Structure 1
Amino acid sequence: MLKKLFALCCCFLFAGGVAVAQESSFFVESASFKNNEAMPLKYAYNSGRCTGLGENVSPELHWINAPEGTKSFAVVSHDPDAPVQNGWYHWFLINIPASQNNLPEGVKPANGMKEIKNSFGILPYGGPCPPSGTHRYNFTVYALSVERLDMDNNTNPVIAEKTIKEKALASATITGLFSAR
């Protein structure tokens, strides 16, 4: 009896391991920075109190193993350490074609892609500019079940992310670090 129970437990453990491996196969990387390491200054914000800090250039991102059924992608850049409710949204890029698996550095929307205003109230990428300390900047690529998200450019960032998550088949995140200057 114990042998049968042990075998059954092993089957459940193995099956659970397979499911986790499948869920984690969607992966994002960047040639601009390594996961959980400092982001170069050129990607920092360059306006307001951060004028002259960086070049406000979006980093290169590339991803692999999007799930079957992916019809488009969306990218959200978010600072969960910002001292405001819901953190600070730095970038939304939606309606990225399913045939695309990368964004070059400094990408401009093309081929139906669209930006949503970030927490700075601007459409393009808004780079790191923490008020103090070291903050995490999550760049999340969402594989979506729809070809297009019909959101207005002025959609509230929290609602925009919620809408993206509702259509997500999977997501993959890379995190850059940036310290106040």
Structure 2
Amino acid sequence: MTTKVFTLSSPDIKEGHFMAKDHEFDGFGCDGKNISPELNWANAPAGTKSFAVTVFDPDAPTCSGFWHWLVTDIPLDATGLARGAGKGSLPPGCRSFTNDYGSKNFGGACPPEGHGMHRYQFTVWALPEETLPADNGASAAVVGFMLNAMALGKATLTATYAR
């Protein structure tokens, strides 16, 4: 018996490759278009009732990385998010949490100039509940904790960026 692997793919970003300027933030000294890439997933684990998507930079010069996007309660029938969905055009019922830019929308890449290559981990999480049990005002760290504690599976696509 072959087990299908939970996967995440995108026509806009590729594993280990440099992201386009379209996905760069439009603030903090950056002048990109701040467009979230199209994301597609397949083969969710049995028992999945909803999905979440996060974008995290573990290379940010902080003590805790940098959260760029946190979306939960994505309906089970969703198989992805459209390009640009991070500007507020998510499927009905989704919840967004405040990222480290202070916004609930997608916040693109904006590593400090000369800081070297940063990794941007786009992750889809398969969850056993329709709603993540976190308050709407929960911090990114709490959302990340809840996702790690509950996930039936996850798939990550890591793109890179530098300035």
TM normalised by structure 1 equals: 0.83
TM normalised by structure 2 equals: 0.92
Q: CA deviation at 1:149?
A: 1.3
In the alignment, is the contact (CA less than 8 A) between 2:55 and 2:120 conserved in 1?
yes
* SS in structure 1 at match of 2:29: helix
Between Structure 1 and Structure 2, which shows a larger proportion of helix residues? 1
Q: State the 4+ residue runs in structure 1 displaced beyond 4 angstroms.
A: none
Q: Deviations over 1:8-45 (max 9, x none)?
A: xxxxxxxxxx8xx84x7101011101111011000110
Q: Which residue of 1 aligns with 2:53?
A: 75
- Given the alignment of the two structures, is residue 104 of structure 1 paired with residue 87 of structure 2, yes or no? no
Higher deviation after alignment, 146-155 or 86-95:
146-155
In the alignment, is the contact (CA less than 8 A) between 1:117 and 1:153 conserved in 2?
no
In the alignment, is the contact (CA less than 8 A) between 2:81 and 2:90 conserved in 1?
no
Number of residue equivalences: 158
Q: CA separation in 2, counterparts of 1:124 and 1:153?
A: 14
- Given the alignment of the two structures, is residue 86 of structure 1 paired with residue 67 of structure 2, yes or no? no
Q: 2:97 is matched by which residue type in structure 1?
A: I
In the alignment, is the contact (CA less than 8 A) between 1:58 and 1:127 conserved in 2?
yes
Q: CA deviation at 1:85?
A: 1.4
Q: CA deviation at 1:151?
A: 2.8
Q: CA separation in 2, counterparts of 1:152 and 1:178?
A: 32
Fraction of identical pairs, as percent: 38
Q: 2:66 is matched by which residue type in structure 1?
A: W
Listed as ranges, the matches of 1:150-165 within 5 Å are 150-165=133-148
Structure 2: any 5+ residue segments left out of the alignment?
Answer: none
Q: CA separation in 2, counterparts of 1:72 and 1:57?
A: 24
Structure 1: any 5+ residue segments left out of the alignment?
Answer: 1-17
Q: Which structure has more RCO (C-alpha within 8 Å, separation ≥ 6)?
A: 2
